[in-house]
Amino acid sequence: MRNQEQISSTQAMKYVISTVLATAILFVPGITAQKAAQDAWLSLIIAMIFGVFVAYMSSGLGLKFPNETIIQFSVTILGKPLGKFIGFIYVFYFFYVAYFVQRQFGELMNSVYMVRTPMLVFIIIVTLLSCYVIYKGLEVLVRVNDIIIIWMLIGLAAIFILTAKDIQFVRFLPVFDSGLGAVIRGSFSPASWLGESAIIMMLIPFISDKGKVKKANVLAVIFLFLIMELIILGAIGVLGVNFTQRNLFPMFSLARNVDISYAPILERQEAVFMVIWVAGMLMKLSTFFYAGVLGLSQWLNICDYRPVVLPMGVIITSLSILSWDNLIDLQRFSDEIFSPSIIFVNFFITSLLYIASIVRMRA
């Protein structure tokens, strides 16, 4: 492990934003609208409260052991047998998200942009790029992200501004038409994505200004909430709730819906969406892949994570191809299995570790 690597809390905040945003803009609008209809924007408020709690709790837990990652301090808290088991769950979780991201990337590229190209080609390309960045280390990863996130936000802002004139706010009425239960059910998916801010527990040992970590992580979740609210506002307000519920990629359709008669060059912004989304997906894959190989090396007591990068790259690539039959299966998995499993790790296991750490310190 390259302990000499150092990043700032601001870089970590931007890193968390990119990590969550890349996949959240793909499936969250449609899945949330399916559950809460036009009240999807209310579901995001509940998800934000959950996300802020996870961000604050995970930052606080990590700061109790500022020189260790979650893989290391779980053993410190629980002892070797149980701590190793919890560490293994987190390592598996990191790779689990990584191969899910690979498949998401391959599905969109294969179904929307290049339908004749085998999906495996896209997955191999993005995985090799990710391996290269990971070999260079965390500092390089966050510096690349510093550039990517600017263009991601500019691109998303451009799409929203160009479609804002078409938003019909009447499409959000009546409020609570689906009932409070539907709003709560609709919050599960965005809550799971916002809960990914718990990745900070793998970054804290490398952050130079640790005193600002909690604030940075909470601000990242709030910023993500605002972006996702704008995306829901655009998707339902422009496309309508029925279309958003049925569409696999509402954000892509929103970008395609840009219609500027006096400036045709600004129309059909799906190319802009592809650029910012591909860059974001590379960062998300690299983030969880890096956390996975770093965590695995720590779990196995290997001093350097780099020897396991390529072997694990082959394994997660294989899993990304074999785990789902098609895009519909992937979307169903995202809603019914992926979101609950992410909440289980980022909320329940992290909460148990936090409580155990308090008990251990008082003992």
Residues 6+ apart with CB under 8 A from 238: 163, 166, 167, 168, 254, 257
| Torsion, Cα of 80, 71, 125, 111 (10° steps) | 100
Return the residue matching tokens 């701590």.
Answer: 83
Residues 6+ apart with CB under 8 A from 183: 36, 39, 42, 43, 46, 176
**Domain at 9-362, CATH homologous superfamily:** Amino acid/polyamine transporter I (1.20.1740.10)
Residue 1's pLDDT is what? 45
Render each residue's pLDDT in the chain as its tens digit; 363 residues: 444 678 888 988 988 888 888 777 777 788 888 888 888 889 999 999 999 999 999 999 999 999 999 999 999 999 888 999 999 999 999 999 999 999 988 888 887 777 788 889 999 999 999 999 898 888 888 888 888 888 888 878 877 887 788 888 888 888 888 788 889 988 888 898 898 999 999 999 999 888 899 999 999 999 999 988 888 888 888 888 888 877 767 777 777 766 655 445 555 556 666 777 788 888 889 999 999 999 999 999 998 899 999 999 999 999 999 988 888 888 788 778 888 898 999 999 999 999 998 888 776
Residue 334's pLDDT is what? 79
Residue 2's pLDDT is what? 46
Query: CB of 345 within 8 A of CB of 119?
Result: no
Q: What string of H, E and C letters represents the secondary structure of the chain?
A: CCCCCCECHHHHHHHHHHHHHHHHHHHHHHHHHHHHHHHHHHHHHHHHHHHHHHHHHHHHHHHHCCCCCHHHHHHHHHCHHHHHHHHHHHHHHHHHHHHHHHHHHHHHHHHHHCCCCCHHHHHHHHHHHHHHHHHHCHHHHHHHHHHHHHHHHHHHHHHHHHHHHHCCHHHHCCCCCCCHHHHHHHHHHHHHHHHHHHHHHHCHHHECCHHHHHHHHHHHHHHHHHHHHHHHHHHHHHHCHHHHHHCCCHHHHHHHCCCCCCCHHHCCCHHHHHHHHHHHHHHHHHHHHHHHHHHHHHHCCCCCCHHHHHHHHHHHHHHHHHCCCCHHHHHHHHHHHHHHHHHHHHHHHHHHHHHHHHHHHHC
What pTM was estimated for this model as a whole? Answer: 0.88
For the chain, what is the largest distance between any 2 Cα atoms, rounded to a whole number of angstroms? 71
Please report, for residues 185, 232, 319, 341, the alpha-carbon distance to residue 182 in angstroms, rounded to integers and kept in the order given: 5, 16, 33, 20
Residue 261's pLDDT is what? 53
